[in-house]
Amino acid sequence: MKLLTRGAFALPGTSLDFKTGTWRNQMPVHKHWGAPCHYVCPAGEDAQAYIGKLQEGHPQAAWEVLVAVNPMPATTGRVCPHPCEQACNRGKMDEPIAIHLIERYLGDEAIKNNWAYPVEGKAKGEPIAVVGAGPAGISAAYHLRRRGYRVTMFDALPEAGGLLRSAIPITRLPREVLDAELARILALGIEFKPRQALGRDLRLDDLLADYQFVFLGVGAGKSRHWSVDGAVPSEMHEGLGLLKEWIAVGKVPIPKSVVIHGGGNTAVDLARVMKRAGTAEVHVITASGLPGPDADPKDVLNVVPREFEQAVEEGVVFHPYRTIQRLLMRGSKMVGIEMVRLKKIKAASGRTQRVAFEGTETVLHVDMVVPAIGEVIDPTGFESLVGGADYFKADPWGRIETHDRVLVGGDARGDRGTVTAAIGDGRIAAGVIDSALAKAEMPAVKRRDFIPYETLNPNYFEPAARAKEPTLPIGRRTDTEEIEGGLTTAQIGQEAARCFSCGNCMACDNCWTLCPDNAVVKTRDRATDGSHYVFDYEFCKGCGLCAKECPCGYIGMTDDA
């Protein structure tokens, strides 16, 4: 063969001898940020992580990620006010991911298919006592059991569940769901001793003698004292008591009209129960604002927003930014109340105060007034632990200064107030106990920084409407049937696909596809997480293009070392 004699030759791909990485002054690095949904979850759930598993088509693995943090997703998927959805980055593009519906779906699927909790081996470690079988106690017991400890859980009542069982209406949390979830948790090998009240049947000293640690999740069961300038109606019913009675025996008083004073779940749940039972006029007076786009999240009715919407639909009348100033009595008979507008404002001292505005008084004619302004702990028999305060004082890990083997969590702390906060406390306390007994690392109470929307690249996501849960029409709502339904498997798939995977790689291939320098290589052909992309710093010129085009914000540029 005759060969050309002019011109130059080069062997294919020999440019690899030249390391363009030396040109770089900034380098791309993978950075796993927290997702906002994770950052704000009181229980500590990482929705990004489990939705990722769902996107991969592995619902059971998704549930396992979820219950590594929260053992009761079927329950919290129904009752949690889901701050995750308020924080969700997707809300800045169209509508937030329906995280609670995904959580609920996974919880329900686990019950339906009897998925095994990721808890291995027999409990054989040191004995730990848990007092109170509400969400805080259950979570502590579960996480201690996961870590191999022998747990005994006590409760004053005959059944476990705390307020989930005794106070939250069945229409929001069917008891079959609660029962099924609790039974599966207790069956992991947690000894449950009902009808054992601390201070009545149990002494703290005895517990401390028999157990290495004591976790207190006793909730706040005593109604806070309520009066209007010292006056109370002659026949006083307080809100939580009425709700509990309704749940236990199915009865509530049915006056012609009632005003409920309070801005939390008790007030709203009771209002709906009384309305449905036949009370013609039900008013709720609250010092806070109402949920809505313009509401200040720090001063708003403390309920799940859709709970409020449903109450309005059902005819409950809300009076926001008001308080009761006077009870109108005719003899001993209640005929109405006088209410006045007020607002939380910053006083000269710098502290915020609620200030009532003269001249804004109005009268409501009602037959009955029910306070629902919150509860405090009942420390009978263990007063030494609280020293006369309304709640326990504890550090972020639940430790009490005066007692080094006692921890506390949930409503008993006074600064919590949700099921998920109680669950988070239980998990952290279990970690603290494990770190003391097994030198495990102290659990983190601070989360990874979360990724702001601006750091994502939304160009790579399509707008898509949020899935909507089926809701019973008002006329068909009863005292026993669950009002909201769940999503179908197909809907869950679509909803999960809407998630941006904030701060974590979704293996979209963008960096691999777009690097002009072939400096992103894959270690495996395919994967659905980001474990398989590597930067080849010998060639990366540090242009920053991959970081800019990563949809998830998983690539950051740093100064080259």
Ligand X SMILES: Cc1cc2nc3c(=O)[nH]c(=O)nc-3n(C[C@H](O)[C@H](O)[C@H](O)COP(=O)(O)OP(=O)(O)OC[C@H]3O[C@@H](n4cnc5c(N)ncnc54)[C@H](O)[C@@H]3O)c2cc1C
CB of 89 to another protein, least distance (A): 16
| 354, 287 Cβ separation under 8 angstroms | yes
Which pair of structure tokens corresponds to residue 464? Answer: 């898509």
**For residue 281, what is the enclosing H or E element?**
strand 281-285
Q: Which amino acid is at 179?
A: D
Interface mask toward ligand X for 59-98; x: CB under 6 A: --------------------xxx-----------------
Question: Judged by CB under 8 A, which of 40, 99, 240, 506 binds another protein?
Answer: 506
Stretch touching another protein by CB under 8 A, among 200-208, 363-371, 373-381, 517-525: 517-525
Residue 56, CB half-sphere, CA atoms under 13 Å: how many? 21
For residue 2, what are the contacts with CB-CB under 8 A and spacing of at least 6?
none
Residue 101: CB minimum distance to ligand X, A: 15
Out of 50, 371, 547, 553, the residue judged to bind another protein by CB under 8 A: 547
Distance of CA 325 to the CA centre of its chain: 35
Residue 94 binds another protein, judged by CB under 8 A: no
- Residue 255 near ligand X by CB under 6 A: no
Contact between 370 and ligand X per CB under 6 A: no
Q: Site mask, another protein, residues 33-52, x = CB under 8 A?
A: -------------------x
Stretch that binds ligand X, among 8-16, 105-113, 150-158, 222-230 (CB under 6 A): 150-158
Are 69 and 46 within 8 A, CB to CB? yes
Rounded distance between C-alpha atoms, residue 344 and residue 299, angstroms: 8
Residue 500 contact partner, candidates another protein, ligand X, ligand SF4, none, CB within 5 to 8 A by sort of partner: ligand SF4
Closer CB to another protein, 58 or 222, in the complex:
58
Binders in 185-204 for ligand X, by CB under 6 A: 197-199
Closest CA to 63 of 496, 466, 440, 498: 496
Task: Report the helix count and the strand count for the chain, using DSSP H and E.
Answer: 17, 20
Out of ligand X, ligand SF4, another protein, none, which partner does residue 15 contact, by CB within 5 to 8 A per kind?
A: another protein
Q: Residues 438 to 477: which contact ligand X by CB under 6 A?
A: none
- Length of the chain (residues): 561
Q: Which of 186, 358, 337, 345 is nearest to 257 (CA)?
A: 337
Does the protein bind another protein through residue 534 (CB under 8 A)?
Answer: yes
Q: Which of 44, 96, 107, 135 binds ligand X (CB under 6 A)?
A: 135
Any residues with CB less than 8 A from the CB of 148 and at least 6 apart, and which? 121, 123, 124, 125
Q: Is 56 in the site for another protein (CB under 8 A)?
A: yes
Q: Which does 265 bind (CB under 5 to 8 A by kind): ligand X, another protein, ligand SF4, none?
A: ligand X
Out of 125, 134, 374, 424, point to the residue binding ligand X (CB under 6 A): 134
The H or E element spanning position 48 is helix 47-55
Residue among 124, 123, 129, 127 nearest 207 (CA): 129
Whether the Cβ atoms of residue 518 and residue 10 lie closer than 8 Å to each other: no
> Which one of residues 70, 152, 223, 266 is an interface residue with ligand X (CB under 6 A)?
266
- Per residue in 167-199, is it b (16+ CB within 10 Å) or e — as a string? bbbbbbbebebbebbbebbbebebbbeeebbbb
Q: What is the DSSP letter of 55?
A: H
Distance CA 403, CA 392 (A): 12
Residue with tokens 């009865």: 251
Query: How deeply is 559 buried, as exposed, middle or buried, from its count of CB atoms within 10 A (0-12, 13-18, 19+)?
Result: exposed
Cβ at position 167, least distance to ligand X in Å: 4
User: 532 with 522: CB under 8 angstroms?
Assistant: yes
Shortest CB 353 distance to ligand SF4, Å: 35
User: 467-470: long-range contacts at Cβ-Cβ below 8 A with a sequence spacing of 24 or more?
Assistant: 467/98, 467/101, 467/491, 467/492, 467/494, 467/495, 468/98, 469/98, 469/101
d(CA 205, CA 212): 12
Nearer Cβ to ligand SF4 (69/511): 511
Given the complex with another protein, which of 290 and 519 has the nearer CB atom? 519
218 interface partner picked from ligand SF4, ligand X, another protein, none, CB below 5 to 8 A per type: ligand X
Minimum CB distance to ligand SF4 smaller for 378 or for 529? 529
Residue 17: CB minimum distance to ligand SF4, A: 18
Binding mask 468-497 for another protein (x = CB under 8 A): -----------------------------x
The reply to whether 103 sits near ligand X by the rule CB under 6 A is no
Question: In the stretch 420-459, what mask flags binding to another protein with x, by CB under 8 A?
Answer: ---------------------------------------x
Binding site for ligand X (CB under 6 A): 79-81, 131-137, 154-157, 162-164, 167-168, 197-199, 217-219, 221, 240, 243, 265-266, 269, 304, 410-412, 417-420, 422
Binding site for another protein (CB under 8 A): 3, 7-20, 23, 52, 55-56, 459-463, 497, 501, 506-510, 512-519, 521-523, 525-528, 534, 536, 538-539, 541-545, 547-549, 551, 557
